[in-house]
Structure 1
Amino acid sequence: MVASIETPGPCWMTPILRYLQEGIVPEDKQGARSLRIRALQYEIIYGALYRRSYLGPLLKCIDYGEAEYVIREIHEGICGMHMGAKMVAARVMRAGYYWPTMLLSAIREIRKCDSCQIYALIT
C-alpha cells in the first residue's frame, strides 16, 4: 500500500522563509529591500514561521488552505456564534494564527454561510 504525500506549493510565506533560512532575496532592489523590512516581524521556531505581534503572543503563520478551516471552525464550530468578519479576524488573532488577508478571507467565508445569509439584514 502506497500513501501519496502532497508537498505544499509556494505560498505567501515562501519568500520570507527562504530569506530567514538561506538569505535568498529577490533580484530587484526594491523587492529585496521590502522583503528584508518585512522579515523583521517574523521568526522561525522549530521550522515553523511565527509573526511577532504587538503586546501579544507569537502568531503562527498558516497558508490559505488551513486558514479556511480556522475561519470555519471559529465562525460556525462548537463555540461559534456566527459573528461578523471583523470579530472573526480578531478571534483568529487571539487564537494565535496569522496570514496577511485575514479580513478578506473571513468576509469570503462568511458570505458562504447559509444561516448567516438567511438572517442577514436586507439593505
Structure 2
Amino acid sequence: MTELVNYLKEGTLPEDEKEARKLRLKARQYELMEGILYKRSFLTPWLRCVGPLQAEYVIKEIHKGSCSMHAGPRSVVAKAIWLGYFWPTMHKDAQNMIRKCSDCQTHRPVTRHPQQPLTPITAPWPFYK
C-alpha cells in the first residue's frame, strides 16, 4: 500500500516496467483525499483503506462489540464493507479472528461425521451351516 500512496502523492513509479504498469492500473481504483486513502466501490461511494491495527479493531467491534451477534467471516466482511472500510486481506483476517474466538468455538455446531471412516464388517453368513 505504501507504493500506491507514494504514486498517488508524488507520482513515483517503481523501476520495473511490469510493476509500474500494475501499479498504474491498480491506482485507478484508489484516491487520496486529505492524506487518507480511499478505494472506489460499486456498492458504496468510497471505502476508507485502513491499516492492520485499525482492521483488527474493526473486526473485533463487528464480531464481539456491544451489538454483536458472533457472525461468520463472510457477514463480518460484508458489514465492514457496508460501514465503509476496506483492507486487502479482510477475508483472511476475519476468518483468523473468528477461529480464535472462544465463544464461537464453544457454541459452534457439532459435526456429525465420525473421526475415522467406518470399516465394514463382513458377516460369515455365506459360510454358516
Identity in percent: 50
Query: What value does the CA root-mean-square deviation take over the aligned residues?
Result: 0.9
| Structure 2 counterpart of 1:83, from 71, 75, 93 | 71
Contact 2:44–2:84 (8 Å) recurs in 1:
no
1:25-64 to structure 2, matched below 5 A, reads: 25-64=13-52
| Structure 2 counterpart of 1:95, from 73, 79, 83 | 83
The alignment covers a number of residue pairs equal to: 111
Larger-Rg structure = 2
Kindly provide the CA deviation profile for residues 13-58 of structure 1, in whole angstroms up to 9, marking residues without a partner as x.
2111100011111111111100000000000111100001014120
- Which residue of structure 2 aligns with residue 104 of structure 1? 92
In the alignment, structure 1 segments of 5+ residues that lack a partner are: 1-12
In the alignment, structure 2 segments of 5+ residues that lack a partner are: 112-129
Instruction: State how far apart, in whole Å, the 2-side matches of 1:104 and 1:63 are.
Output: 14
> Residue 74 of structure 1 aligns to a residue in which SS?
helix
Q: CA deviation at 1:121?
A: 2.1
> Residue 79 of structure 1 aligns to a residue in which SS?
coil
Q: Greater relative contact order (Cα 8 A, min sep 6): structure 1 or 2?
A: 1
TM-score for the superposition, normalised by structure 1: 0.87
**Segments of 4+ in structure 1 off by > 2 A?**
none
